[in-house]
Chain A
């Protein structure tokens, strides 16, 4: 892509999220979300294949619907509170509509259908932007309206997300779809705790972004998009197999890796609020997620996948792709658990 256009699109993307997070007027937040959508559509169409077109179209349609619903919720809120400040909403209808609009934007169940298909149609690095950066803006709005969100709606949507994120990923071999279902499940965890302690949503989002960034960067090193290709990393970059396995186990939430921290904190916060069955069910459903991560870890690091002899005799070149921040990200996504008290105080 022409560098000027690339700079323009990326800076619009960053600017739009910043507009959403720092604005105090509902109209500006809405404008930021629209800019966000507009900026990422050309980035998704970098290679104009029919699959990318399909992905961009689906993304545009869902996000535009969500923005329209969001505007409706803003206007209803305006009607009942006569002010445009971003704070808790003053009408239950507005609250429900806005929650659903933001759920569509985030990809929470039952509005999750676009996430796997859009993530599959776009290149790996764009998928990274879609699953990490694009979540910042809607979650910042959710954080700000959290006192007025309907509890039943939120908990239903998040528990459904965890279930669907777990079950949907079981039958996948395409890595981008697996990451999409992982994103749906993690969004479910994040929004569960939104009404009890929004700081933990932020903590979970931070850790999730670090882990997803690590995972995508590891995948992008070899441009692996299927499990089959992932099983051949032992040949080209053996150390990546260890890191991939550790990151996958961390995403599954196994102690002593970082991914355990948000789950533990969320369970602690939920039990403080006297709900014991919900965190138990959430934790057990997260095991479904762990199952397909384990399958990937098996094929990558722990076993030798069946492959032809040609595949086993590749040249091991020096890596030419830039490993931006990869060592930092790997360390952060596997070794951060002892620093839990720091995060708890920070946020």
Chain B
């Protein structure tokens, strides 16, 4: 695993020592090359995992997420070029360094064997993200956004530290590969209820669960584009990854404890989708749609059936690419009009027709059109929740409907219809932006040809 971590760390000297007008070229190219090496991880055995050392391993769950993370770094670098042009050179290099630090910590989180190592790197991802949001965000609301982000996540994860330490003292080791075989069934009692909550709250806040999601719209909206992309695509998946890992040692308590959270996520799914219909702020709409999709992942992770785990993993990868693409599209709007209000930039198909293609593909992916992997994830989750309880089909159907509604609403408002009068001097789209969108959608479409690789470890 050092073959990913060391090159990623070395991207930092690359940034600081490159020539002034080559920093973007160098970092983007090299991070793209590093992401290609992650494809080696695709050679996964069915019921085993690739153990690289005592500290790092990768199995069919962490490999797709790792590939997503590594694919996203060059994309975030490409997306940030435009809003950083006016900054002094040192600050540009600092920004890139923050992204690279975040990337290194994310690689270590997804491949950690020991759960405390996972915890430490999970928490460490907070600091670079906080710095990106607070230092390079654009509105004064970003201060509050950073604080909400930091404190919601920390409040949830400190009990996790205590619970993991207790687990290490009881079982002797927190090596995940051993833990799967050593874990004792957790009998149902009041103290075990608190223990279950301690394990799960960190991930539920990170996902986020509907009642704890207040940090997400703030953080996503106030972050600069790279921050939004990385937050939506990867940091939310940290929560999902943690939940999928830790629920394997928490049975049979989960069946007893999961009901309130299942209800919250099922209801929250519909609530947040409905809120999307009433949003005026484009980034806020995409942020709430993230909450809605992640609620599906939470539902899937809590039911613990093979199909639901496959659906959760597929949904995470699909949502990562789709949501990141939507944020890039929203950012291309923001860079031209310097406003996130949707109705201020209407009817863009006339001015930027090729961008409309990307908007169309992104919105269609968001509403889970067949045969994209979004659909595969949602379908697996819907069928498994139906087998868990027949009534959920009503909620799921409503959710699909409302998701389709707001995705098409977003598409139609920004692209179709009569253009607003003040936007007739928009700069045409840059090739960089088209490359960005293409690099998002091409993996998404290619994965629909072979979704087996993203279906996780219960395939």
By a beta-carbon cutoff of 8 Å, the part of chain A in contact with chain B is 249, 254-256, 260, 264, 267-268, 271-272, 276, 279-280, 283-284, 287, 290-291, 294, 298, 301-303, 337
Chain B nearest CB, measured from A323 CB (Å) = 21
On whether the beta carbons of A255 and B124 are closer than 8 Å, the reply is yes
B379 proximal to A (CB < 8 A): no
- Whose C-beta in chain A lies nearest to the C-beta of B169? A272
The contact of B161 among A283, A291, A337, by CB within 8 Å, is: A283
On whether the beta carbons of A271 and B127 are closer than 8 Å, the reply is no
B147 proximal to A (CB < 8 A): yes
On whether the beta carbons of A280 and B158 are closer than 8 Å, the reply is yes
- Whose C-beta in chain B lies nearest to the C-beta of A257? B127
Contacts of B121 in A (CB 8 A): 255-256
- Whose C-beta in chain B lies nearest to the C-beta of A265? B165
The contact of A254 among B123, B159, B166, by CB within 8 Å, is: B123
B151 proximal to A (CB < 8 A): yes
CA distance A163 to B49 in the complex (A): 45
- Whose C-beta in chain B lies nearest to the C-beta of A302? B134
On whether the beta carbons of A302 and B147 are closer than 8 Å, the reply is no
Q: Which of B121, B124, B168 has the most CB of A within 10 A?
A: B124
Contacts of B147 in A (CB 8 A): 291, 294
CA distance A158 to B125 in the complex (A): 30
CA distance A250 to B169 in the complex (A): 26
On whether the beta carbons of A249 and B127 are closer than 8 Å, the reply is yes
Contacts of B198 in A (CB 8 A): 280
Contacts of B155 in A (CB 8 A): 284, 287
Chain A nearest CB, measured from B301 CB (Å) = 24
CA distance A260 to B154 in the complex (A): 13
Contacts of B135 in A (CB 8 A): 301-303
On whether the beta carbons of B169 and A271 are closer than 8 Å, the reply is yes
On whether the beta carbons of B123 and A271 are closer than 8 Å, the reply is no
On whether the beta carbons of A290 and B154 are closer than 8 Å, the reply is yes
The contact of B162 among A276, A290, A294, A337, by CB within 8 Å, is: A276
CA distance A300 to B126 in the complex (A): 19
On whether the beta carbons of A294 and B150 are closer than 8 Å, the reply is yes
On whether the beta carbons of A287 and B158 are closer than 8 Å, the reply is yes
Contacts of B126 in A (CB 8 A): 254
On whether the beta carbons of B124 and A271 are closer than 8 Å, the reply is no
The contact of B158 among A256, A272, A283, A294, by CB within 8 Å, is: A283
On whether the beta carbons of A268 and B165 are closer than 8 Å, the reply is yes
Mark each residue of chain B from 165 to 185: 1 if its CB lies under 8 Å from any CB of chain A, else 0: 110110000000000000000
On whether the beta carbons of B158 and A303 are closer than 8 Å, the reply is no
Contacts of A271 in B (CB 8 A): 162, 165-166, 169
B131 proximal to A (CB < 8 A): yes
Given contacts A255-B124, A284-B158, contact A291 B166 (CB under 8 A): no
B423 proximal to A (CB < 8 A): no
Mark each residue of chain B from 109 to 125: 1 if its CB lies under 8 Å from any CB of chain A, else 0: 00000000000110110
CA distance A302 to B91 in the complex (A): 12
Contacts of B151 in A (CB 8 A): 287, 290-291
- Whose C-beta in chain B lies nearest to the C-beta of A254? B127
Q: A256-B123, A337-B120 are in contact. List 14 more A-B contacts (CB 8 A).
A: A249-B127, A254-B127, A255-B124, A267-B161, A268-B168, A280-B158, A284-B155, A284-B158, A290-B150, A291-B147, A301-B135, A302-B134, A302-B135, A303-B143
Contacts of A287 in B (CB 8 A): 151, 154-155, 158
Chain A nearest CB, measured from B6 CB (Å) = 15
The contact of A280 among B134, B150, B159, B169, by CB within 8 Å, is: B159
Contacts of B165 in A (CB 8 A): 267-268, 271
Contacts of A298 in B (CB 8 A): 134, 143, 146
Contacts of B143 in A (CB 8 A): 298, 303
Mark each residue of chain B from 393 to 421: 1 if its CB lies under 8 Å from any CB of chain A, else 0: 00000000000000000000000000000
Number of residues on chain B facing chain A (CB within 8 A) = 26
CA distance A302 to B205 in the complex (A): 25
Q: Which of B126, B150, B162 has the most CB of A within 10 A?
A: B162
Chain B nearest CB, measured from A35 CB (Å) = 42
Given contacts A249-B127, A303-B134, contact A260 B169 (CB under 8 A): no
Contacts of A294 in B (CB 8 A): 147, 150
Chain B nearest CB, measured from A282 CB (Å) = 9
- Whose C-beta in chain A lies nearest to the C-beta of B168? A268
- Whose C-beta in chain B lies nearest to the C-beta of A264? B161
On whether the beta carbons of B158 and A276 are closer than 8 Å, the reply is no
Contacts of A301 in B (CB 8 A): 135
Given contacts A254-B126, A298-B143, A303-B143, contact A276 B166 (CB under 8 A): yes
The contact of A279 among B123, B146, B162, B168, by CB within 8 Å, is: B162
Chain B nearest CB, measured from A263 CB (Å) = 9
Contacts of B131 in A (CB 8 A): 302
- Whose C-beta in chain A lies nearest to the C-beta of B166? A271
For this complex, 14 residue pairs linking A to B, each with C-beta atoms less than 8 Å apart, are A254-B124, A255-B123, A267-B162, A268-B169, A271-B162, A276-B166, A280-B158, A280-B162, A280-B198, A283-B162, A287-B158, A291-B147, A294-B150, A302-B135
Contacts of B162 in A (CB 8 A): 267, 271, 276, 279-280, 283
Chain B nearest CB, measured from A293 CB (Å) = 11
CA distance A7 to B298 in the complex (A): 66
On whether the beta carbons of B124 and A256 are closer than 8 Å, the reply is yes
Contacts of A260 in B (CB 8 A): 120, 123
- Whose C-beta in chain B lies nearest to the C-beta of A268? B165
Contacts of B159 in A (CB 8 A): 280, 283-284
Chain B nearest CB, measured from A295 CB (Å) = 9
Chain B nearest CB, measured from A270 CB (Å) = 8
Contacts of A268 in B (CB 8 A): 165, 168-169
CA distance A283 to B124 in the complex (A): 16
CA distance A273 to B327 in the complex (A): 48
- Whose C-beta in chain B lies nearest to the C-beta of A245? B131
Contacts of B123 in A (CB 8 A): 254-256, 260
Chain B nearest CB, measured from A253 CB (Å) = 9
Contacts of A279 in B (CB 8 A): 162
- Whose C-beta in chain A lies nearest to the C-beta of B126? A254
CA distance A341 to B123 in the complex (A): 20
Q: Which residues 375-400 of B have a CB within 8 angstroms of A? A: none
- Whose C-beta in chain A lies nearest to the C-beta of B94? A242
Chain B nearest CB, measured from A300 CB (Å) = 11
Chain A nearest CB, measured from B195 CB (Å) = 8
Contacts of B127 in A (CB 8 A): 249, 254, 256
Mark each residue of chain B from 62 to 99: 1 if its CB lies under 8 Å from any CB of chain A, else 0: 00000000000000000000000000000000000000
Contacts of B150 in A (CB 8 A): 290, 294
Chain A nearest CB, measured from B16 CB (Å) = 14
Q: Which 6 A-B pairs have the closest CB atoms?
A: A283-B158, A302-B134, A256-B124, A271-B165, A255-B120, A255-B123
Contacts of B124 in A (CB 8 A): 254-256
Contacts of B166 in A (CB 8 A): 271, 276
Chain A nearest CB, measured from B91 CB (Å) = 10
